[in-house]
Every structure is written in C-alpha cells, then in structure tokens.
C-alpha cells in the first residue's frame, strides 16, 4: 500500500470515528490519538523520507490537508456535542411563562388629578402660567370683583358655605381672575393663566352633586384678544384632550363676569355626534362655560377695559372625568375606593 | 317657561319641526330643557259618547256604559268614576290602546262584566295632577258637546301641540313670556310680527277712580295700576283657554283668574285679581309690619316681617305683593266686582320674600327677573277686555294709577371696529345695523358708528359688551372664525413650588401609594385630630350636615375614613396618600384661617398582593419609614432626616411614633395609628404619616452634584454588638460616624436581635462598616486601626460588648 493510500485510509477511519462519537471526552481522545506525536499520521509521515525526492512535497502537502480536515472535523463535532449538551440543559430549565409576575407596588394618580394635569400640560405648552389661590376666599373676590354685587340674583347665600359675612369657601375658581388681573404687569406681556383647584357649594351630595369638586379657570387678557381666539383655544383644548375628531359649539349663556357669555358643548363621547341617550340625542355634551371678560371685572381689578380685554373659561374636571370614563356617580371621586382609583392606571394618554 | 308651538305661530310664520325650532332657540338665545308633546306614547284614545248607562249588578260604584266611539257598534265599558253620566262626551281608551305611564289597556272583565276599554281621567292619559282643573280632578274629563265622536282626543285637549320648555338665564327675563319670545324669534328668523295693542271696551257710566283709591311707595312699586270690572259672572273658562293654560303648566281655575294667568304668560306681566267687595277701603303698597299675619291663597297663615311687601286695605294685608294673593280677597264663585292689579314690584324685596317664605311662584319669578315697563298697561287692558268677553260685566272707565314709571331708554354707541376687535369678525357697520334692525333696536348712524337705542323690553342691555353679545348670537357663533391668541410671547412653565408638588405626587406613586382626594370639610372631632400645631377650629356658618361642618386641620383623618370605606367593602390592603390644604387659626377672633399645604399617607395590610412567589408580610413602621425617607430624600431637602420618638399625638401609638425633622426643622410625624383610634374608625392596624408640604417646599434644597466614584477598592468590616435595649440605632451610628475616621464611607445595619441567647435587657446589633479612600488603595492596617478605635469607643461610651 502506498503512503498516500495509507493516509487516505487513516483519514476515512478517523472521520468515521469522530462522527460516531457521542462523548466529548472520547472525542478528545480520538483527537489526541490521530493528531498526536504517536498517532498514525505522524507515523505515516515518517515514511516520507523513503520516497523519491520529487514525490515528497506532494505527499507532504496531502498529509497536511488530512491533518487539517481531521482538526476541523473534531472542532465541528465538538460544537455539535456541546450544543446538544446545552440544549438538553436548557430544555430542563423550561418554565411556565404564563405564571404571574412578582407583584410590585405602584400607586396611581387620582383620576381627577390626571385630568387636571392634562389641562395644565396643554396650557403650559400654549404659554400659560399656572396659578393657585386660597380655598377660603373673601366675598369681595369670590363675588363682588366678579361683578356679582351683594343682592345680585345670581349669588345665592343658599349656595355658598360662609365662614362669616365676609369669608366663604370659594364657590368657583373665578376669583383667581381678579387676583391675577390685580397682580399682573401688562408691560411685561399678556396675562395667560389657568388656575386649577377645589371649590365648594352648599349642595346635598348625590350622584350628580358634590359639596366639593374641582374647577380649572382659564384667563387670557391682552390688547387684542377676540372671541374667535376663545373659540380656537377651546377647539384646541377639545381636540388635544379628547382627540382630533372632537369639535365644539358655542351657545349663548349668562355669567355675570363675562359678556358675551357662552356655554360650550363638545361632540358627544359616547356616540361621536350621532345622537344617543347620553347626549339626549343632540350629539353634543355641555362641558364648560366661557366668555369675554366683562369690562366691570377688568375695571374693578384696575385694568383699563378700553385698552385690554380677553376671554375666560371655567371647566369642571369632575364632569370631564365622568363623561370621559363613564363614571355615573360624582361621589365615587371622593370615597377613595382603591378598586375605583386603581382602575385609572393608563398613563399613555 | 313652557312655550306652546301653536301660540308662537299666531305671531310668526314658522313651519319647521318643533325640535328644529328648539335647537335654533338653544343656539341663539337660551337653553331648552325639553321638547315634548302630550300625546307622546299614547295610542288609540278617542272621543266617546256615553249613549246609556246602567249600574253594575255586583258593585255599588261601578257603572256599565254603552259608548259610541264612531264604530258600527257601541262599546260596553265599565267605569267607576263618580261623575260619569249618560250623554257625556268623554275620553275613551280603546282595547289595545296605550295610556299615560305606558300602560296598555285591554279588553277585560270587571267583576264579571266585560269592559271594552276605559273611560279616562286627564291624569290617566299623562296630565300632571298640578294642571288638572279642580272640576275634573276626582273624575273623568267631560268634553264640551261640540267635539266629534270617534276622533282621537289629542287635538281637542291640546296634546298635539309641541311644548318647548325654556331654561331662561337670569338676564333674559324678557323671554319669560310669549311676546318676549316672539320678539326674539322675529330677530332670529328675520320676521316682522304684528302685535296689536288691546282695545278696551269701557263703560262710561263707571269710573275706576270712584271705585277704588290706591297709594304706593315708589321704591316698592315703580308702577302700580288698577282696573275695575263690575258685574262679572264667575264660571269655568272655555276649553281653548283651559288648554292654553295647562299646556303652559298652569291649572285652570275660573274665567277671571285664568285670564290673569293667560296675560302673565303672554306678556310676562303678573296680574292679580281681587274681589272688590272683600276689600275694606283704599289700598296701599307698603312694607309689612313686624309680626303682621296673612293667610295666602294656599290657605297657609304666614307671619310677615318688615322686609315683606304687602298690598293692604285699611284693615290688613290682602296680598303679599308680587308673590301670592290673600285668601280673604280671592275671587270665588260669587264674585261680582273685580279689581285687577298690574304693577312692577321691587325685585330685591320679592326675591327675599320668596326665599323666606319658600314661595316661588310664576309671578315672583318674573318680578325677580324684571318686567317690561312698556306693557304694564297693555296687559291690564287686554285682561279687562278678555274678562268682559268671558265673564261679562262692565269695565269701569280709566285706570287707577298709584305710581308710574317710564324709563329713559339707553342709547349705546358702537362701532364696527370695536365689534370686530372683540368678536374677531369682519363685519361692516351695515351688517351690524341689520342685526339691530332684526332685534327691533332703532339705530342711528353717527360718525363711524351707530347710536343704538334699546327698547324697554330688553332691560338686560346696558353697555357696549351687551350689544357685542347680541351681534354675536344673531350673527351666529358657528360663523365666528376660530383662531389662537397672537401677540407677545409668553413662556409657560411650572413654578419651582409647582414642580416640587408634581414631583411629590410622582415619588409617592412610584413608592406604591395611590392618590386619594377626600373631603376638606369634616366633623369637629376629625378636624382636630393629628394636630401638628395648636389651632382653633374653622366652622361653617350654616353647614348642610355636621359631617361636613368644619375645615380640616389634618389630612390623615380623611384618609382614615377612606381606609374605613375600603375595609367596609372588603378591601384590606390600602396604600393611599393625599396632598391638599389644612386650615389653621391662631385664635377664635381670626376669621380667615391660614391655609397650609400638607401631604399625608396611610398604609395597612400588604403593600403588594400576595402571590405564588410573593410571600408578603403586613406593612409595619419601618416599611412606611422607608417610603417617607425615600420621599424626603427625593425632594432634595438639604440636611439630615431625623426621627425622634414621641408620644405627643393622642391619636398615635405612643411607643411607635416619631417626629420627623429635616436639618433640625420639624416637618411632621410618622407612626402607627393608635389602636383606640383605629377601633373608632373601624380600621385594622394602620401606619400613617403627615408632613407639612409647605415646610418641605420652603426648606433649602441640595442640587445634585456628581461625586467621582473611587477607583480604589473599598474595605468592609462587620461588627456585632451587644448593647442595652435602651440604646438606639441613632446613638450607635452617630458614634460610629464620629469616631470612624476619615475613610468611613457607609454604615449598614444588617441585623437586630433580641431573645434567645441574648441576655435580658440586651440586644444584639450587627453592622457593616465600609471604608474607602478616594485617592489610594487602603492599607489593611489603616482600616484595622480605625475599626479598633470605633470598637473601643462603643465599649467605653455605650457599654457595648463586642462579639
């Protein structure tokens, strides 16, 4: 048998041995045996010196190829064997991924807070400042400065919690209009503010009335602010808070501190304007009151109504939340039932 | 205000469905409460003629009637009404009909006798009992004889007339009348209705001024006018008038009272009719004397005060002016001579009286909101004329006038430029003038504007802004452009305080507490709990209930109410916080309380839900302390947070409560709610904290400043001590910090143990001390020297046994 044939035989047998091995240790033994100094290839190569000189390089190179092929075969097979071991281990480690995750503690903002924060963020983006005022208010700011002099029919002692003849629990956030107007320096720019807060009414609590609820007041005063600006602002508000498909409409109304005064309806959440029981088949739901600030309010706060003017609006976040989430009892907001509060955990809005 | 569509159509050319008309009113003038029709939901109800009637053999009150309903055969109907009689034309609900309250009428047997339908009373087909005439209140309704048998009844009862119910805003008192609404609709639809002045057919042989004399305080009654009609015959009003009234929501009474109510609805001018024979001498409009009494039409005796206005004769009050007439001078079946009053009473007094006596009538409502001075006389004239037509008699010549008032009509200057400036429109002066023409306001062009004269019927309009509103609503709010304010830029940012407030909520939520909002008004007892400083109570003058009578001086009591509510609903695990105001007063003389922003939280049960791999243990002091500590740390308040054991809060566990201070400033407390208080609130073991948020906001803050992390390894040494139980962790840590040397970086308590293998009165505490030198690798002997020094001081100063 020629040297070349010997080498070929070594290769064929070697590869077959490698292939049939299922054990890493055994594989290593085969490798050491085949490629080692005492192995068959080394032994065969010793016979090269007996060959004619011109044949030596060719057989030498053939022997190296066989050595490489076996090295490669061992490496490949090792990887296969190792993978098989790992796969077996991984298979043994399989878990039930449908078991529940470990509970973590995460609180939620109150649903009304979420609505207020939405308003705040929207109006901050439009360049408004946020003002907060006292919940115990004077009659002067709550009523008189809002163009509701004593004995005005629209101010009913019955509706307001008084602490004395002079002080009361504010029945609206509108006094913040007067407070803001008094403090504002118009030489520094227009007044654009919103003021969220708690208000109080002398009501008996029932599904649609609460003696405590929230309002967000808005006020924009400058040299040239129009009712069209009010309309545009409210449309922006409706679309940013509820969605692009929402529209608004204005209806005449009456508030002592605005003239003209309007009620603002927004497209019904429930039917998107088609008409349903929620909107009494009008397609619209009343959500807020607004208007152009009454000249008396400006003048009483020391602002020249011939030069400055603008709009104001007042929104009830409680009502917004009731409409938006289908809550049918306003008292639910103040009972703090954990099962109620924790439902409002979608922060992606 | 209930508007019958048919009444409006007498003046205006309207052919749109009532719903559309209502929508237009709502979009242009005032809110509409509802649009209804009396025949809504009714079916197969017709006029029947009772041909004959026999008594029911098995009943002492039922009758068997044979009723012609326009079909081939009369129906046999059993009827129990006391006033049923043969020959009557009545309301018949046919078999398979539907009557009021969605009730179905079927063929049935009544005590063995077949009844093919039902003869109905008005309230049975949906009429409110408040508007059914007394005559028909206890029995079936009987038509006049001229109605067609077999026809549906609706038209003959006014039930096919759509009723638009307006919710009139306080400024639009002018729309509390048919004529006021007609003027408004005329402007909206650009029509020119003809409103005729009434003609009075006076009897020259009678002179009103000879019949009665009247005086009036002009402050109380700007206008006070009387007419006298002699020799009337009181009877029920004709059907058309009764229908008109009940559709307006008013109960028909008799032909005189009904006329006054009809005029009230038409003109918005309340009238009152007195029986002249019952008046003793001259009458006068004055304030009541204190304690004076009057029995009003509703037969209630009322004690009057000096703020009530009355109409009085020489002896006594005969009416509470503008609110309700007196029982003693009312029109009755025998009244012959009628005195009709048409006046304008002072709105303030009327409002106060209506409130005081809880007497809110159609009349008082209108006097409160205003009366058209232009039609005081027209109203009484038309009333006199109608009474004469319906009740006969003679109208005495002339009007007795005790006071009279013709206001000067305001003229307001308006320009197109100002109008567009405010509304954002692009209207020409001509456009604006046309709107005033439609409204019936006369206007005159002067320079670059208009002088607009406001008619007396629109007493709500005084200033330019009022006219802008008129222009805007007639022009149409839908036609206004929508823009955003332009002009100088403003920057919208939260103030530092607002940022801290927002962060405070987010931190606590991240630590597992859900935001609660409870009531600021509470009971006296709850308001005074958990006091962080001395304060007097702030109470409401007239609370609705004692539960909400006092302003809170703490937030916790509200949160404990919340815990109780949750426990009562089988929710044991509660983790809530609330931020809001508390109200403090230094003395009882102080009226306006100081408002201080607080933040408080409660924990009870488990903070996380138990689960297959979450083996929870109930919350304790240290769990809440961890939350509060993290909270204050995240707020970035400068200085160390210290906890000092305290028993000064009666509502807190005396051994498990600590005052919290930051950099030596008291900010609040933390601990376990006293078991007695927990029992009182019906709550389980609860841990709580309350902090003065304002103090936390005001205290100086540390900014984040990056500290390079040491490149050299740290060295950790553990130490286990046996100390007296009275020795606190703070004492140990303080000593370690003081004596720990320059490289002591961190101290961690990793075990506390009392009990078995530890002598009585002692406890074992184990700490890890971490040493770091930021500049070089620490040498072992340096650490050892420092560690030994700490050990020595612990032994010397705290009598610790090192183990």
Mean pLDDT value across residues B285-301: 94
Show the domains of chain B with their CATH numbers: 2-37+162-189 (3.30.56.10), 43-157 (2.40.50.140), 202-403 (3.50.40.10), 411-479 (3.30.56.10), 496-698 (3.30.930.10), 715-802 (3.30.70.380)
Tell me what pLDDT residue A269 has: 83
Contact predicate B224/B243, CB 8 Å: no
Q: Is the pLDDT of residue A156 over 80?
A: no
pLDDT at B437: 96
State yes or no: A259 annotated in a binding site: yes
* Per-residue confidence (pLDDT) for residue B220, from 0 to 100: 95
CB A42 within 8 A of CB A48: no
Residue A145 pLDDT more than 80? yes
pLDDT of residue A49: 82
> Would you call B10 helix, strand, or coil by DSSP?
coil
CB contact under 8 Å between A222 and B487, yes or no, is: yes
- The answer to whether B542 faces chain A, any CB pair under 8 Å, is yes
For chain A positions 146-175, those within 8 Å of chain B (CB to CB) are: 151, 153-154, 158, 161-164, 166-167, 169
- In the A/B pair of chains, how many CB contacts fall below 8 A? 259
A119: nearest Cα among A217, A44, A187, A36: A217
Inter-chain residue contact A254 with B171, CB threshold 8 Å: yes
Per-residue model confidence (pLDDT) at position A8: 87
Mean pLDDT throughout B164-192? 95
Q: Which residues of B touch A204 (CB under 8 A)?
A: 544
Chain B closest-CA separation from residue A190 CA (Å): 7
The arithmetic mean of pLDDT across residues B398-422, rounded, is: 95
Name the pLDDT band for A5 (thresholds 50, 70, 90): confident
Looking at mean pLDDT, say which of A200-204, B193-197, B264-268 comes out highest.
Answer: B264-268
pLDDT at A7 over 90: no
A236 and chain B in contact, CB less than 8 A: yes
CB-CB under 8 Å, B581 with A135: yes
Query: Is there a contact between A260 and B482 if contact means CB atoms under 8 Å apart?
Result: no
Mutation choice for B interface testing from A101, A104, A105, A284 by most B CBs within 10 A: A105
pLDDT of residue B269: 97
A204 touches chain B (CB under 8 A): yes
In degrees, to the nearest 5, what angle opens at C-alpha B140 toward C-alphas B138 and B141? 110
Find the residue in A nearest to B368 (Cα).
Answer: A153
Q: Is B511 on the interface with A (CB under 8 A)?
A: yes
List the structure tokens of B220: 């109380």
**Where in chain A are the domains?**
3-92, 111-341
Q: Is B591 within 8 Å of A167 when comparing Cβ atoms?
A: yes
Instruction: Provide φ and ψ at A163, rounded to 5°.
Output: -95, -30
Q: What is the pLDDT of residues B622-647, one digit of tens each?
A: 999 999 999 999 999 988 999 999 99
Any chain A CB within 8 A of the CB of B539? Answer: yes
A184-196 as b/e, with b when 16 or more CB fall inside 10 Å?
Answer: bebeeebbbbbbb
pLDDT score for A60: 83
Within 8 A of B516 by CB-CB distance, chain A residues are: 110, 336, 341
C-alpha–C-alpha distance, residues B491 and A149, integer Å: 35
Which tens digit of pLDDT belongs to each residue from B425-434?
A: 999 999 999 9
**pLDDT tens across A190-199, in order?**
999 999 999 9
What pLDDT shows up at residue A158?
Answer: 63
User: How buried is B160 (Cβ within 10 angstroms: 0-12 exposed, 13-18 middle, 19+ buried)?
Assistant: middle
Interface contact flag, B480 A224, Cβ < 8 Å: no
pLDDT for A54-98, tens place per residue? Answer: 888 888 888 888 888 888 999 999 999 999 999 999 999 999 999
- Contact: A235, B482; criterion CB under 8 Å: yes
Q: Work out the burial of residue B185: count CB atoms within 10 Å of its CB; fewer than 13 is exposed, 13-18 middle, 19 or more buried.
A: buried
Note whether B618 contacts A: Cβ–Cβ < 8 A: no
Q: What is the pLDDT of residue B148?
A: 95
B505 to chain A: which residues are within 8 Å by CB? 109, 113
How many angstroms separate the CA of residue B785 from the nearest CA in chain A? 44
Residue B482: which of A161, A222, A231 has the nearest Cβ? A231
Q: Which of A336, A340, A341, A347 should we substitute to test contact with B (largest number of B Cβ atoms within 10 Å)? A: A336
Q: Does A141 touch chain B (CB under 8 A)?
A: no
DSSP SS3 for B328: coil
Q: pLDDT for A267-320, tens place per residue?
A: 988 888 898 888 888 889 888 999 999 999 999 999 999 999 999 999 999 998
Report the pLDDT averaged over residues B366-393: 95
Contact predicate B641/B661, CB 8 Å? yes
What is the CATH superfamily name and number for domain A111-341? Bira Bifunctional Protein; Domain 2 (3.30.930.10)
Work out the mean pLDDT of chain B and round it to a whole number: 94
CB atoms within 10 A of CB A177: 30
Confidence tier at B466 by pLDDT (50, 70, 90) = very high
Residue B487 per-residue DSSP state: S
- Tell me the CA distances in angstroms from B245 to A2, B91, B173, B261, B742, one per residue in order: 132, 20, 20, 8, 97
What was the pLDDT predicted at B124? 94
Of B30, B485, B490, the CB nearest to A229: B485
Give the separation between CA B22 and CA B32, rounded to whole angstroms: 6
Measured between CA atoms, the residue of chain A closest to residue B550 is: A163
> What average pLDDT does the segment B454-458 reach?
96
**How many other CB atoms are found less than 10 A from the CB of residue B76?**
15
The answer to whether A109 contacts chain B (CB < 8 Å) is: yes
Residue B579 CA to residue B508 CA, distance in Å, equals 11
Q: Check CB contact of B427 with chain A, cutoff 8 Å.
A: no
- A88 CA: distance to closest CA in chain B (Å): 26
- Strands (E) in B321-467, as ranges, are 324-325, 338-345, 394-397, 400-403, 411-415, 442-446, 449-453
Secondary structure (3-state) at A198? strand
pLDDT band of residue B60 (cuts 50, 70, 90) is confident
Q: Where are the alpha helices (DSSP H) in chain A?
A: 3-20, 24-35, 40-46, 56-92, 111-125, 139-142, 175-183, 227-241, 295-300, 317-325, 332-335, 338-341
- What is the full DSSP assignment across B275-286? EGGG--S-EEEE
Residues in chain A with CB shorter than 8 Å from the CB of B608 are 103-105
Answer yes or no: is pLDDT of B481 > 90: yes
Distance of CA B695 to the CA centre of its chain: 36
pLDDT at residue number A349: 54
Tokens of A171: 């029945």
Return the pLDDT at B27: 93
Q: Which two tokens stand for residue A202?
A: 């002398």
Residue A47 contacts B where some CB pair is shorter than 8 Å: no
Residue of A15, A10, A37, A38 whose CA lies nearest to A27: A15
Provide, rounded to the nearest whole percent, the portion of chain B with pLDDT above 90.
90
Which pair of structure tokens corresponds to residue A311? 């709009």
Note whether ipTM > 0.85 here: yes
The string of pLDDT tens digits covering residues B381-404 is 999 999 999 999 999 999 999 999
For B519, the closest of A161, A212, A250 (CB atoms) is A212
Query: Stretch B199-212: mean pLDDT, rounded?
Result: 94
Rounded CA separation B588/B585 (Å): 7
State how beta strands B594-604 and B686-692 pair: antiparallel
DSSP secondary structure string, B682-746?
T--SEEEEEEEHHHHHHS-BPPP---PPPSSPPEEEEEEEEEETT--HHHHHHHHHHHS-TTEEE
- For residue A284, the 8-state DSSP code is E
Any CB–CB contact under 8 A between B414 and chain A? no
CB contact under 8 A, A249 and B31: no
Residue B570 in contact with partner chain A when CB distance is under 8 A: no
Q: Is A115 exposed, middle or buried (0-12, 13-18, 19+ CB in 10 A)?
A: buried
How far is the C-alpha of A160 from the C-alpha of A173, rounded, in Å?
Answer: 13
Q: What residues pair up with B92 in beta bridges, in sequence order?
A: B46, B119
Nearest CA in chain A to B545: A204
Residue B177 pLDDT grade (very low, low, confident, very high; cuts 50, 70, 90): very high
pLDDT in tens, B303-354: 999 999 999 999 999 999 999 999 999 999 999 999 999 999 999 999 999 9
């Amino acid at each position: 048998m020629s040297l070349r044939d010997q080498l070929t035989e070594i290769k064929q047998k070697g590869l077959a041995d490698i292939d049939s091995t299922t054990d890493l240790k055994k594989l290593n033994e085969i490798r050491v045996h085949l490629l080692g100094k005492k192995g068959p290839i080394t032994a065969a190569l010793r016979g090269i010196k007996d060959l004619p000189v011109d044949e030596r390089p060719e057989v030498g190179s053939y022997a190296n190829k066989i050595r490489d092929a076996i090295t490669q075969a061992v490496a490949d097979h090792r990887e296969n064997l190792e993978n098989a071991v790992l796969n077996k281990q991984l298979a043994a480690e399989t878990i039930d991924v449908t078991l529940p995750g470990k509970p973590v503690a995460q609180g939620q903002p109150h649903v009304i807070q979420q609505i207020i924060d939405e308003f705040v963020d929207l109006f901050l983006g439009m360049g408004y400042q946020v003002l907060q005022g006292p919940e115990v208010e004077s009659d002067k700011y709550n009523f008189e400065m809002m163009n509701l002099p004593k004995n005005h029919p629209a101010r009913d002692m019955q509706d307001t919690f008084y602490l004395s003849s002079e002080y009361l629990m504010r029945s609206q956030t509108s006094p913040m209009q007067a407070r803001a107007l008094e403090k504002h320096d118009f030489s520094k720019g227009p007044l654009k503010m919103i003021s969220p807060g708690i208000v109080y009414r002398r009501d008996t609590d029932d599904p649609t009335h609460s003696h405590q609820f929230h309002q967000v007041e808005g006020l924009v005063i400058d040299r040239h602010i129009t009712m069209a600006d009010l309309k545009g602002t409210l449309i922006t508000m409706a679309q940013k808070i509820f969605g692009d498909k929402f529209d608004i409409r204005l209806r005449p109304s009456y508030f002592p501190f605005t003239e003209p005064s309007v009620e603002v309806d927004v497209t019904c959440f429930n039917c998107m304007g088609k008409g349903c029981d929620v909107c009494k088949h009008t397609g619209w739901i009343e959500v807020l009151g607004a208007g152009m600030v009454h000249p008396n309010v400006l003048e009483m706060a020391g602002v020249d109504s011939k030069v400055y003017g603008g709009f104001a609006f007042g929104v009830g976040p409680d009502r917004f939340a009731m409409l938006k989430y289908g809550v049918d009892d306003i008292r639910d907001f103040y009972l703090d039932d954990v099962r109620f509060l924790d439902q409002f955990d979608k922060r992606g809005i | 205000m209930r508007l019958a569509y048919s009444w409006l159509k007498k003046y205006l050319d309207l052919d749109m469905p009532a719903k559309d008309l209502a929508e237009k009113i709502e979009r242009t003038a005032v809110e509409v409460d509802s649009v209804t029709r009396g025949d809504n939901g009714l079916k197969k109800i017709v006029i029947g003629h009772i041909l004959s009637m026999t008594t029911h053999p098995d009943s002492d009150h039922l009758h068997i009637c044979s009723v012609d309903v326009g079909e081939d055969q009369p129906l046999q109907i059993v009827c129990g009404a006391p006033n049923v009689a043969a020959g009557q034309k009545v309301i018949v609900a046919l078999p398979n009909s539907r009557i009021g309250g969605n009730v179905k009428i079927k063929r049935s047997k009544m005590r063995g006798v077949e009844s093919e339908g039902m003869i109905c009373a008005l309230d049975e087909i949906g009429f409110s009992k408040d508007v059914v005439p007394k005559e028909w209140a206890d029995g079936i309704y009987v038509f006049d004889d001229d109605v067609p048998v077999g026809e549906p009844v609706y038209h003959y009862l006014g039930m096919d007339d759509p009723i638009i119910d307006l919710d009139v805003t306080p400024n639009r008192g002018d729309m509390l009348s048919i004529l006021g609404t007609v003027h408004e609709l005329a402007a909206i639809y650009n029509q020119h209705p003809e409103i005729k002045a009434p003609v009075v057919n006076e009897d020259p042989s009678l002179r009103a001024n000879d019949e009665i004399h009247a005086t009036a305080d002009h402050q109380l009654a700007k206008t006070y006018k009387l007419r006298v009609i002699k020799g009337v015959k009181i009877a029920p009003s004709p059907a058309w008038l009764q229908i008109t009234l009940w559709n307006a929501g008013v109960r028909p009474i008799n032909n005189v009272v009904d006329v006054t109510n009809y005029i009230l609805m038409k003109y918005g001018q309340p009238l009152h009719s007195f029986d002249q024979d019952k008046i003793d001498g001259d009458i006068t409009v004055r304030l009541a004397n204190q304690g004076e009494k009057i029995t009003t039409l509703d037969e209630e005796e009322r004690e009057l005060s000096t703020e009530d206005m009355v109409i009085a004769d020489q002896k006594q009050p005969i009416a509470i002016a503008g609110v309700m007439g007196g029982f003693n001078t009312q029109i009755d079946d025998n009244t012959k001579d009628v005195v009709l009053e048409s006046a304008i009473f002072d709105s303030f007094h009327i409002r106060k009286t209506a409130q005081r006596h809880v007497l809110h009538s159609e009349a008082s409502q209108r006097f409160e909101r205003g009366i058209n001075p232009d039609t005081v006389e027209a109203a009484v004239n038309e009333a006199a004329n109608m009474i004469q037509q319906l009740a006969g008699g003679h109208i005495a010549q002339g009007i007795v006038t005790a006071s009279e008032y013709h206001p000067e009509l305001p003229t307001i200057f308006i320009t197109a430029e100002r109008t567009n400036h405010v509304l954002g429109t692009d209207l020409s002066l001509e456009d604006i003038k046309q709107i005033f023409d439609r409204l019936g306001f006369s206007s005159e062009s002067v320079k670059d504007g208009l002088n607009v004269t406001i008619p007396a019927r629109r007493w709500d309009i005084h200033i330019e802004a009022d006219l802008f509103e008129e222009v805007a609503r007639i022009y149409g709010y839908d036609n206004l452009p929508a823009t955003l304010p332009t002009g100088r830029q403003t920057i919208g940012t939260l103030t530092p305080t607002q940022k801290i407030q927002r962060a405070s909520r987010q931190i606590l939520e991240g630590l597992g507490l859900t935001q609660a909002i409870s009531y600021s008004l509470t009971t006296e007892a709850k308001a005074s709990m958990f006091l962080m400083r001395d304060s007097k109570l702030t109470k409401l003058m007239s609370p609705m209930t004692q539960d909400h009578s006092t302003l809170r001086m703490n937030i916790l009591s509200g949160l404990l109410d919340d815990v109780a509510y949750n426990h009562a609903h089988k929710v044991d695990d509660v983790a809530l916080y609330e931020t809001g105001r508390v109200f403090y007063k230094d003395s009882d003389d102080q009226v306006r309380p100081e408002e201080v922003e607080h933040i408080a939280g409660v924990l009870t049960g488990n903070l996380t839900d138990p689960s297959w791999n979450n083996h929870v243990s109930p919350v304790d002091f240290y769990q809440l302390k961890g939350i509060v500590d993290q909270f204050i740390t995240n707020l970035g308040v400068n200085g160390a947070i210290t906890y000092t054991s305290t028993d000064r809060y009666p509502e807190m566990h005396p051994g498990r409560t600590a005052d919290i201070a930051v950099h030596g400033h008291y900010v609040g407390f933390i601990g376990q709610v006293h078991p007695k208080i927990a029992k009182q609130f019906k709550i389980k073991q609860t841990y709580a904290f309350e902090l003065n948020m304002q103090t936390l906001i005001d205290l100086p803050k540390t900014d984040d400043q990056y500290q390079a992390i040491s490149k050299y390894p740290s060295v950790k040494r553990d130490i286990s001590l046996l100390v007296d139980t009275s020795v606190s962790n703070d004492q140990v840590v303080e000593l370690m910090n003081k004596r720990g040397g320059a490289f002591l970086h961190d101290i961690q308590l990793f075990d506390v143990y009392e009990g078995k293998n530890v002598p009585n009165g002692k406890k074992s505490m184990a700490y890890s001390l971490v040493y770091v030198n930021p500049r070089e690798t620490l040498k072992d002997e340096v650490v050892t020297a420092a560690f030994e020094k700490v050990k020595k001081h612990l032994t010397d100063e705290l009598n610790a046994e090192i183990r």
